[in-house]
Amino acid sequence: MPLLIRNGKVVTSTDVFKSDIYCEDETITRIGPRLEAPPSATVIDAAEKLVFPGFIDPHVHIYLPFMGTYAKGTYLTESKAALAGGTTTLIEMICPSRSDEPLAAFELWKSNAAGKSACDFTFHMGATRFDALAESQLKEIVSAGLSSFKIFLAYKGAFGVDDAELFAILKLAKSLGVIVTAHCENADAVAAKQRELLAEGKTGPEWHEPSRPESVETLGVQHLTAFAAIHGTSCYIVHTSCEPAVRAALEARARGTKVWIETLIQYLILDKSYAELPDFEGSKFVMSPPLRDRSNHRFLWNNLANGSISTIATDHAPFDFKGQKEMGRGNFTLIPNGIPSLEDRMCMLYHAGVKTGRLSLNRFVDCGSTEAAKLFGLYPRKGTIEVGSDADLVVFDPQHKRTISARSHLMAVDYNPFEGMTIEGRVETVSVRGKVMVRDAAFVGDNKHGRFLKREPNHF
């Protein structure tokens, strides 16, 4: 059924203009004033509203076996939550354990999403080991439509790779034109610091941040970028939390290394004092790299605004407070790492970024959608509003006020890190390839519409 969005203020990464948008057969076919539509068309009145391209979350975990448990939620729940927050495409991290074969992991993660996702999806392929078998299977996976790898310098013994593997994976990626996304923390330094703190009787969640200080993350960034420079591989530092780590990446970029930077909505809004909340409440705010001192906020916002930080993601990794975060009572190193935010990323960014004047509307779209599409081989199919692009559209009411709460969110987790915050701006209508999936801020779609997006390597 055709879709006409009327009278909206259309925002792309470069333009803001009043227009109608007409969509047929999954794509945008006309953009302009006073467009006609057949009686069969769904018509959405967007007067006084903003119309954005569907947002892309480039760093999400849905199926995540991790730290002795599994992240909460499935595609059935989390893809609806994504859409309620305006995210029409998510990129999930495939995180196999070191004993798993890459191809089997790729098939498993794909089967978890197939037929269950309301939004479109693709994956970064976790390269958690390197040997002849892994090499040939990683090549096969790239041919099957994944054009980015994920490596972990942290989590030794689980997902982490050693330096010989790091060297080989970056070399392979360069030869295939694949970008390598990387979790940068020095694993040995973290392990040593954890042991030291526990031996001193420092066991609560407030000790998570001191166990992985900013210097340890910065060291990870320096390590990764030095290795990437050897081969000229494109790399993308995920969840960058603090000024020194961003500076390390920018220094590498100034030396000619092809490096891009992601930060998370959590790092822009929350800070380490949340992990210090009493009665183990702090465990809700344990993730890695940790929430930092508030003094980092200004630097992160400024560098997101000027484009030095390319993208804003969530690293959505939900673990219930009850029964999961509680696994780490008495030992902070056993608290499952992760903070849910898939549903709230773009509304929080609008409220704290656009409304306050920290971010322009264009940059809001750029960091929340366009940059990720360009970096990960989805542009211009995704990430923009152009004739020929997929009809992924978000109609946004910039005036609507509401209070965030776990009682009303769609994510399958028992708390919300932004609980009680009153924000301005609401996602009202969302289409995915021309099908209306959210209307009047309620999910009206189905869990079969989402499609696996094949991506071509574009980092030669």
119 binds, among Zn ion, ligand URP, none (CB under 5 to 8 A by kind): none
337 binds, among ligand URP, Zn ion, none (CB under 5 to 8 A by kind): ligand URP
Torsion of CA 410, 413, 418, 422, to 10 degrees: 30
- In the complex, least distance from residue 183 CB atom to Zn ion, rounded to whole angstroms: 3
By CB under 5 A, tell whether 366 contacts Zn ion.
no
By CB under 6 A, tell whether 78 contacts ligand URP.
no
H-assigned helices in 232-333: 243-254, 265-269, 297-305
Distance CA 333, CA 327 (A): 10
Give the one residue of 288, 310, 314, 324 binding ligand URP; rule: CB under 6 A.
288
x/- track of binding to Zn ion for residues 172-191 (CB under 5 A)? -----------x--------
x/- track of binding to Zn ion for residues 318-337 (CB under 5 A)? --------------------
By CB under 6 A, tell whether 245 contacts ligand URP.
no
By CB under 5 A, tell whether 212 contacts Zn ion.
no
Q: What is the token pair recorded at 39?
A: 């009686």
Q: Which of the residues 300 through 319 are near ligand URP (CB under 6 A)?
A: 315, 317
By CB under 6 A, tell whether 413 contacts ligand URP.
no
By CB under 6 A, tell whether 80 contacts ligand URP.
no
Q: Please choose, from the candidates 365, 432, 391, 457, the residue with its C-alpha nearest in 3D space to the C-alpha of residue 124.
A: 457
Q: Which residue is nearest to ligand URP (CB)?
A: 337
Torsion of CA 49, 347, 349, 338, to 10 degrees: -160
Q: Of 335 and 395, which CB lies nearer to Zn ion in the complex structure?
A: 335
Kindly calculate the radius of gyration of the chain based on its CA atoms and give it in whole angstroms.
21
By CB under 5 A, tell whether 214 contacts Zn ion.
no
287 binds, among ligand URP, Zn ion, none (CB under 5 to 8 A by kind): ligand URP
Parallel, antiparallel or unpaired: strands 435-439 and 442-443: antiparallel
By CB under 6 A, tell whether 57 contacts ligand URP.
no
By CB under 6 A, tell whether 395 contacts ligand URP.
no
Give the range of 39-47, 64-72, 308-316, 367-375 binding Zn ion by CB under 5 A: 308-316
- In the complex, least distance from residue 31 CB atom to Zn ion, rounded to whole angstroms: 36
By CB under 6 A, tell whether 257 contacts ligand URP.
no
By CB under 6 A, tell whether 287 contacts ligand URP.
yes
x/- track of binding to ligand URP for residues 146-185 (CB under 6 A)? -------------------------------------x--
Q: What is the token pair recorded at 226?
A: 């030095």
- Reported as type and span, the H/E element at residue 263 is strand 259-264
Give the one residue of 57, 315, 343, 428 binding Zn ion; rule: CB under 5 A.
315
Q: Of 10 and 261, which CB lies nearer to Zn ion in the complex structure?
A: 261
Q: Of 71 and 432, which CB lies nearer to ligand URP in the complex structure?
A: 71
By CB under 6 A, tell whether 392 contacts ligand URP.
no
By CB under 5 A, tell whether 262 contacts Zn ion.
no
Q: Of 52 and 152, which CB lies nearer to ligand URP in the complex structure?
A: 152
By CB under 6 A, tell whether 340 contacts ligand URP.
no
Q: By CB under 6 A, how many residues form the interface with ligand URP?
A: 9
- In the complex, least distance from residue 345 CB atom to ligand URP, rounded to whole angstroms: 14
Q: Of 204 and 338, which CB lies nearer to ligand URP in the complex structure?
A: 338
By CB under 6 A, tell whether 61 contacts ligand URP.
yes
Tell me how crowded residue 300 is: count the other CB atoms within 10 A of its CB: 23
By CB under 6 A, tell whether 126 contacts ligand URP.
no
By CB under 6 A, tell whether 337 contacts ligand URP.
yes
Q: Of 67 and 404, which CB lies nearer to ligand URP in the complex structure?
A: 67
Q: What residues line the site for Zn ion (CB under 5 A)?
A: 183, 315
Q: Which residues bind ligand URP (CB under 6 A)?
A: 61, 183, 239, 287-288, 315, 317, 337-338
